[in-house]
Amino acid sequence: MSAPLLEVRNLRVEFPTRHGSLLALDNVSFDIAPGEILGVVGESGAGKSVTGAAIIGLLDPPGHIAGGEIRLAGRRIDNLPHEQMRRVRGREIGAIFQDPLTSLNPLFTVGQQLIETIEAHLPLGRREARARAIELLRQTGIPAPDARIDQYPHQFSGGMRQRVVIALALAAKPKLIVADEPTTALDVSIQAQIIGLLKSLCKEQGAAVMLVTHDMGVIAETCDRVAVMYAGRVAEIGPVQEVIHRPAHPYTAGLMGAIPAMDSDRERLLQIDGSMPRLNAIPTGCAFNPRCERVLPRCREERPELMQVASSQAACWLHAEGEGQR
C-alpha cells in the first residue's frame, strides 16, 4: 500500500464561547492514500464539514485547531502561517463546496475565474492559462467550452455551475480534493453525472479525495473507504463494502437500516431514536449511548477508542475482549 497523502492525527477543534469552549472535533484520526476516495458520513452536526474546513484552513473564527496535526505529503500544514496556507489551497488542496453559487463570483466570467486561478498557481502565461481553462471545461463535460468560457455563472444551470466548480478545484492539479456535499443541491440524474465525473477525473490525476456527504448511496457508489462520524468523533472506518454490509458500530447499523431496500417488503424503516447531542451536552462515555439499543454499563462510563473488527475499525465496547462479540 502506498504511503498516505493526507494524515490527520488526533485532531481537536474548539469554538470558544462565553460559557466555555465547545469541542467540535475530538481526537479525529484518518489517512487518505493517493488516488483514494474516502467518504465521511454522518448526521448533521457530526463534524463532517468542520473536519474538511480544518484541513483546508478555513475554519470560521473563533473556531481553531486546539490539538493534533494534519500532514499533506509528509509536510505538516495545520500550523502554517496564513499566507503559506493560502498558497497550499488551490495549488495542493482543491475544494468543492455544496452550493456552486457561493464558490463563483457573479461579476466575473467563468473564464476569468478559471484563468486567474491557473495563473496564481501554475507557471503559465495568459494564452496557455486560457487553453488549460478551456480544456478543463471540456474534461468536466461543459458543451462548447470555447464559447461558454466567456459566459457568466448565471448563464449556467446548477449542474453546469457545479462542473465549473470542479474545474476550478482541479485547475492547479492539486494532490488532495475536499468535496463538501458537492451533490446535495442537485437532482438525482445530475448528481450521478457529477459523482461519476469527480471519480474518473480524480482517478486519472491520482488525487486523493475526501468526500463529505450524508448520503450512504453516494458513499456506496463512489468511495473506496468510509468514515462514519458521530458527535465530533469517528465511530467506524473501513472499506465501503465491509462497513455497508457488515457494520460494526450500532450507529452505522442504524444508518444502514434506515435505507429502503428494493427487494424488501418491510412496511416501516428502522430509525434511530433521539438526535445528535449538542456540543455542550455530549454524554460521558460513548457519545451514542443514550440512543443505542445495545448499550452496556461500560458504555455510559468509558469512551471507547477505535478497535479492529475484521478489516474495519469501530469505537464500540461490543468488540472489546470479554464483552462478547457480534
Q: Which residues contact 143 (CB under 8 A, 6 or more apart)?
A: none
**Greater confidence, 66 or 205?**
66
CA distance 31 to 50: 17
CA distance 208 to 189: 25
Mean pLDDT (whole number) for 149-160: 92
pLDDT tens per residue, range 281-323: 999 999 999 999 999 999 999 999 999 999 999 999 999 865 6
Q: What would the grid cell of residue 295 be?
A: 448499550
Mean pLDDT over each residue of the chain, to the nearest integer:
90
| Range in 123-127, 201-205, 236-240, 242-246 the model is least confident about | 201-205
Among candidate residues 211, 240, 252, the one with its CA nearest the CA of residue 311: 240
- Is the confidence at residue 25, as pLDDT, over 90? yes
User: pTM of this prediction?
Assistant: 0.90
Q: Which residue type sits at 254?
A: G
Q: Assess whether the previous peptide bond of 106 is cis (omega < 30° from 0).
A: no
Check residue 55 and give its pLDDT.
96
| Per-residue burial over 224-253, b = 16 or more CB atoms within 10 Å of its CB, e = otherwise | ebbbbbbbbbbbbbbebebbbebbbbbbbb
Q: What percentage of the chain carries pLDDT values higher than 90?
A: 66
Check residue 264 and give its pLDDT.
62
Q: Are 248 and 314 in contact (CB under 8 A)?
A: yes
Beta strands 93-96 and 176-180 are parallel
- Alpha helices, H only, the chain: 48-56, 82-91, 110-121, 126-139, 145-148, 158-170, 188-205, 216-222, 240-245, 250-257
Q: What would the grid cell of residue 49 be?
A: 464539514
Q: Looking at beta carbons, which pairs linking 323-326 to residues 24 or more positions away fall under 8 Å?
A: 323/296, 323/298, 326/248
The angle at the Cα of 184, spanning 38 to 16, to the nearest 5 degrees, equals 75
Q: How far is CA 4 from CA 28, 30, 95, 212, in A?
A: 16, 10, 19, 19
pLDDT tens per residue, range 224-273: 999 999 999 999 999 999 999 999 999 999 988 877 666 666 667 778 88
Check residue 69 and give its pLDDT.
96
Handedness of CA 217, 223, 226, 231 (dihedral sign): negative
CA distance 238 to 307: 11
Q: What would the grid cell of residue 321 be?
A: 475482549
CA distance 82 to 64: 13
